[in-house]
Amino acid sequence: MDDAFADRFDALSFANDEPVHIFRSDRYGHNDEGVWMPETLWHRLRYIGTAYSLHLLPLLDGTTDPVFLNPQQVAQFLRELHFITLTVDDPLLREQVSALVATSRLPSEGASKDKLGIEFP
């Protein structure tokens, strides 16, 4: 790989990014834990979703309000993340996707129609 682009795979390159917060949610409020993904990597994930004509990822464009996904949408989110990890050779993105998958698969902490929340910077 050309060294001019090596920083694209270095987590330190995104240390000053505003984070996108992906968390488990329920009707009692959201968990402050979850995944804090650099905004640049979130957009990389979204644009890959757009490039492959995926359904859900391209829609998560960083609105000012949090987005909440129901269980069916989370299932689609997981399918799209799985496709991307099989298709794209990007170790940094794969690490972030792994954390997203783990968070998405956690059991709900309360009865709610929403399972996953996404807050944008």
pLDDT tens sequence across 89-103: 999 999 999 999 988
Give the global pTM.
0.85
Instruction: Give the pLDDT score at 98.
Output: 94
Question: Is residue 108's pLDDT more than 80?
Answer: no
Using a 10 angstrom Cβ sphere, with 0-12 exposed, 13-18 middle and 19 or more buried, the burial of residue 120 is: middle
User: In this structure, are residues 80 and 58 in contact, taking their beta carbons and an 8 Å threshold?
Assistant: no
Mapped onto helix, strand or coil, the DSSP state of residue 30 is strand
pLDDT digits (tens, 9 = 90+) for 58-91: 999 877 788 988 888 999 999 999 999 999 999 9
Q: Which of 61, 58, 48, 98 has its CA nearest to residue 78?
A: 98
pLDDT average, residue stretch 15-33: 77
Instruction: Give the pLDDT score at 73.
Output: 92
